[in-house]
Amino acid sequence: MKKVLFSLLMVFAAGTTAVIAQEVEKTDGAKIEFTKEVHDYGTVENGANGDCTFEFKNTGNAPLIISNAKGSCGCTVPAWPKEPIAPGATSKITVKYDTKRPGAINKSVTITSNAVNAPSKVIRIKGDVKPKPESGAPVNKAGAPAN
């Protein structure tokens, strides 16, 4: 009976130690915290500046390393810091959207890093690009067709 109780106690202790170790792993290391996770362009002109910035901070206790940032399509191009971000330091990811594509914007950028709180983080852009202006007949200052 003593052997059975001792065996059960050892299994319980090993399981508790594993759970505690997992909790330590989740709190130790780099952490990424964004000031915003969605950028809304609103309604923009066709061909307007499609750049936006996502600022973030390493709130962890180890250097943050972003290994990749990938846009959901070729019209969404992210640029990210290649050097490690020290604990407590801030940095930014810039996203450029091709505003020569009229219509709704609903794209994402997936960030891969060593952050213990979000090793794979998704940030989003949204908005609407106006249609390309027609280059028809010349108009006068009043907006009427010129004769």
Residue 147 forms part of a structural domain: no
Residue 27 lies in a domain: no
The verdict on residue 61 lying in a domain is no
Per the structure, the complete domain to which residue 97 belongs is given by 38-55+66-80+93-129
Residue 76 lies in a domain: yes
C-alpha to C-alpha distance for 89 and 8, rounded to whole angstroms: 47
For residue 45, is it within any domain? Answer: yes
Tell me the CA distances in angstroms from 55 to 81, 123, 124, one per residue in order.
11, 11, 13
Q: How many independent structural domains does the chain possess? A: 1
The SS3 call for residue 122 is strand
- The pTM score is 0.74
DSSP string computed for 37-90: SEEEEEEE-TT---EEEEEEEE-SSS-B-EEEEEESSTTEEEE---SPBPTT-E
List, in sequence order, every residue forming a beta bridge with 77; answer none if it has no partner: 96
Residue 114 lies in a domain: yes
Q: pLDDT of the chain along its 147 residues, tens only?
A: 556 655 555 655 555 555 554 544 567 999 999 999 999 999 999 999 999 999 999 999 999 999 999 999 999 999 999 999 999 999 999 999 999 999 999 999 999 999 999 999 999 999 999 999 887 545 555 544 555
**17 falls within a domain:** no
38 CB-side CA count, 13 A? 6
Tell whether 87 is covered by a domain.
no
